Chain A
Amino acid sequence: GAGVSQSPSNKVTEKGKDVELRCDPISGHTALYWYRQRLGQGLEFLIYFQGNSAPDKSGLPSDRFSAERTGESVSTLTIQRTQQEDSAVYLCASSSGTGDGYTFGSGTRLTVV
């Protein structure tokens, strides 16, 4: 597609359940990023993938968070045993890796009740 696509756009889940968030990057973009944005806050880096290299997981807040990416395509962010503090908008971005600007998706709004 023309842009970065994220699904679902909204997700309400019960505390303790696992959730999976999906990101479809722009075709041909080798780099993919996940960020979290809590209400009224700035963007918090979580993880990124570059080609077939091992991902940089330095921003993941706990071992309940994990992410996978198959080659240079779809990525999924998984949050296990969700907590209320996980409520946020989760944003995905991709880039060609050449230094040009990154393109963000519209995000998934996660609400843990």
Chain B
Amino acid sequence: DAKTTQPTSMDCAEGRAANLPCNHSTISGNEYVYWYRQIHSQGPQYIIHGLKNNETNEMASLIITEDRKSSTLILPHATLRDTAVYYCIVRVAGRIQGAQKLVFGQGTRLTINP
């Protein structure tokens, strides 16, 4: 299973862009990169995912390097409510044909400061 490496923690000032890095150097060609976040005492929340092209939605942007060995999640204008643990996950193929499970690492604890 492809593994991901993220910094344990990061800080960002409110209103600035938060850039969260993730390394996934062993990613396979058909594996997607997913980002989730978990706000205290809640279940994880899906943010965005991508294969090789950069992606953007109403929550964030995902920049994937050309060699796909790393990616960056960008929260363009961070607010205090963005304080959470952010998980970068590579989607692996499960043992059931056609099904895929997510393997979570320890994530990055992002703190947005006023």
Contacts and interface: CB of A to CB of B under 8 A. Distances in A.
| A and B: interacting chains | yes
Interface of A: 4, 31, 33, 35, 41-45, 48, 50, 53-56, 58, 91, 93, 97, 99, 101-107
Contact of A104 (B43, B95, B98, B106): B43
Given A42-B106, A48-B99, A106-B43, A56 B94 contact: yes
Contacts of A58: 95
Contact of A56 (B32, B87, B95, B102): B95
B35 to A, nearest CB: 9
The secondary-structure label for the interface of chain B is loop
A19 B98 CA distance: 31
A113 to B, nearest CB: 20
Contact of A97 (B32, B49, B98, B105): B98
Nearest to A6: B43
**Which of under 10, 10 to 19, 20 to 34, or 35 or more describes the interface residues of B?**
20 to 34
B49 to A, nearest CB: 6
A42 B46 CA distance: 15
A106 B104 CA distance: 17
Contacts of B106: 41-42
Interface in B41-64: 42-47, 49
B101 to A, nearest CB: 5
Given A42-B87, A99-B32, A101-B34, A107 B99 contact: no
Contact of A106 (B34, B42, B94, B99): B42
B104 A50 contact: no
A69 B23 CA distance: 35
A58 B93 CA distance: 13
A103 B96 contact: no
A42 B105 contact: yes
B17 interface: no
